[in-house]
Structure 1
Amino acid sequence: MHRVIIIGATSAIAEATARRYAARGARLYLIARRAQRLEDLAQDLKIRGAADVAFGTLDVNHHAAHVDAFAKAWSWLEKVDVVLIAHGTLPDQSECERSADHAVSEFNTNGTATISLMTIAATELEAQRHGVLAVISSVAGDRGRQSNYLYGAAKAAVSTFASGMRQRLAKVGVTVITIKPGFVDTPMTQHFQKGALWAKPDAIARGIVRAVDRRRSVIYLPWFWSIIMLIIRHIPEPIFKRIKL
């Protein structure tokens, strides 16, 4: 039986992942901001087959509360097999360009807060010498693009941090997985026009659970984003500066 902590549990991708673990009879501890939404989700997951579900509230930007949030989750589960960090926002790039305060706030949510949570989770997993820490980064972190470079910079920080942590924790039997989704059709992206490259949250969730099962290191979801980003990363800078991405 899996014992799973999900941070940002009410996001579309996290909910879909939680449903897949519920169907396996997992014990789930959910962490997000809204208590009522968490309570509703917990009841739904029990109906879907979860062995048990508990939850706690957390504003990820309140860094001082991170340790206590994990302590409660670990105490309830006793042992943890999987930690999934799945919170995030999609910043307004134009507003980030106009306001340094807004830019720093969004970087904190998508970068610094994630790094804080990863650090605390890693300490616990290292102590038990077992488990998987999976963190949702993004293809946006592979190369800064004018359309979303604040978000991309935060995700690049998360990916680099995860890379170093993966190398460190591999020696004690802990797996760190960097998850890099492309375009996902969620409430956060509802104002975007959708096309062939867009995936549904459940498709991403399926890939996340498979990556955990297989102890992968870095995974692009859907898979074809690995090819797209390989091309984008290798566009020469003089050409890259002239194109719109």
Structure 2
Amino acid sequence: MSAATWLVLGASSSIARAFALEAAGEGANVLLAGRDRDDLDRSAADIGIRHNVAVRVVDFDAEAVDSHDAFVTHCAGLAAEFGGGPLNVFLAFGLMPDQATIDRDPDQAQRTIQATYAGAVSVLHRLAPRMEAQGKGHVVVLGSVAGDRGRIKNYVYGSAKAGLHAYLQGLRARLFRAGVTVTTVKPGFIDTTMTWGMPGLFLVASPRDCARACLRYAAKGAEVRYFPAFWWIIMTIIRNIPEPIFKRLSI
């Protein structure tokens, strides 16, 4: 049986880089997709040295939706060249400007939504028919605890992730009928460039631990998971704070 191929979207992020290494360590072939070609080339070389799997770098821009048809066709072709095993998808991109920056420059709100939500929907909706046709496989998408409630500190980014969560619910129902699993992972604070220097961080998890958890969730066909798991408790409390009280909180 041919090895699976993981298409890693946003592969220059810390979690995605760790995920690609872990997936390759389990024998999967890897397609590294993103904008930072130099970084992706280094990751591909690292994977090639550590693991005896096929690995390729593919240019991808979440905001350049006009290029997504050709991108998906190209990735499907590469996966076929690898031996025709199932194509899996790990999506880890997003844009999270500081909320104060967005408030000063409303154009940043549009960019946040385009990169975090609209770009993800664009590429996933083009991948969906290919996933259905193969009749198996996994889609794992990094959402965020920020999408569980609109907080004053990051409500634009949170709204983009909330939209993504809702989209994935529908995609999960669609692909379930074809034998494909869709897993939404909602990380809390992870030690990445996106969170570096942010005030008020606590119980920060490592990208490698998150990547390993994502692979476990995919293997189990999980639907929605918080990482670390205790964030389910935290967000359950936050979601249930009455609005008259919540709007007075600076969180």
Contact 2:90 2:140 in 1 (8 A): yes
Q: Distance in 1 between matches of 2:87 and 2:76?
A: 11
For residue 95 of structure 2, give the secondary structure of its aligned residue in structure 1: coil
> Which residue in the other structure is 1:197 paired with?
203
Which residue is 2:144 aligned to? 138
**Structure 2 counterpart SS, 1:188:** coil
Q: Displacement, 1:39?
A: 1.1
| 1:97-136 superposed matches below 5 A | 97-136=103-142
The letter for the 2-side match of 1:210 is R
**Residue 39 (structure 1) aligned with residue 45 (structure 2):** no
Equivalent residues of 2:188, 2:228 under 8 A apart: yes
**Aligned residue type for 2:238:** I
Give 1:100 shift: 2.3
Q: Kindly tell me: are residues 98 and 165 of structure 1, through their superposed partners in 2, closer, same or farther at Cα, counting changes over 3 Å?
A: same
Q: Which residue of 2 aligns with 1:17?
A: 19
Q: TM-score, normalised by structure 2?
A: 0.94
Using the alignment, how far apart are the partners of 2:208 and 2:200 within structure 1?
16
In structure 2, distance between residues paired with 1:9 and 1:207 = 17
Uncovered stretches (5+) of structure 1, i.e. residues with no partner: none
- Partner-residue secondary structure (3-state), 1:162: helix
Tell me the residue number matched to 2:58: 56
2:218 counterpart of 1:218: no
d(CA) in 2 for partners of 1:21, 1:74: 18
Give the aligned residue type for 1:17.
F
User: CA offset at residue 25 of structure 1?
Assistant: 2.0
State the match for 1:207 in structure 2.
213
Q: What's 1:74 paired with? A: 76
- Could you tell me which runs of 5 or more consecutive residues in structure 2 were left unpaired when the two chains were aligned: none
TM-score, L = length of structure 1: 0.96
> SS in structure 2 opposite 1:187?
coil
Range moving further from structure 2, 138-147 or 39-48: 39-48
Question: Can you list the C-alpha shifts for 1:121-166, whole angstroms capped at 9, x where unaligned?
Answer: 1121012111111111101000000000000000000000000111
Give aligned-pair identity as a percent.
Answer: 38
Report how many residues are paired. Answer: 245
CA contact (8 A) 1:8 1:31 kept: yes
Aligned counterparts of 1:63 and 1:197: Cα–Cα separation in 2:
36
Distance 1:49 1:138, change over 3 A: same
For 1:171, the equivalent position in structure 2 comes to 177
Establish whether residue 83 from structure 1 lines up as the match of residue 86 from structure 2: no
**C-alpha distance in 2 between matches for 1:9 and 1:165:** 22
CA contact (8 A) 2:32 2:57 kept: yes
- Residue pair 1:115, 1:161 contacting (<8 A) in 2 also: yes
Question: Over aligned residues, Cα RMSD in angstroms?
Answer: 1.3
Contact between 2:31 and 2:57, CA under 8 Å: does it hold in 1? yes
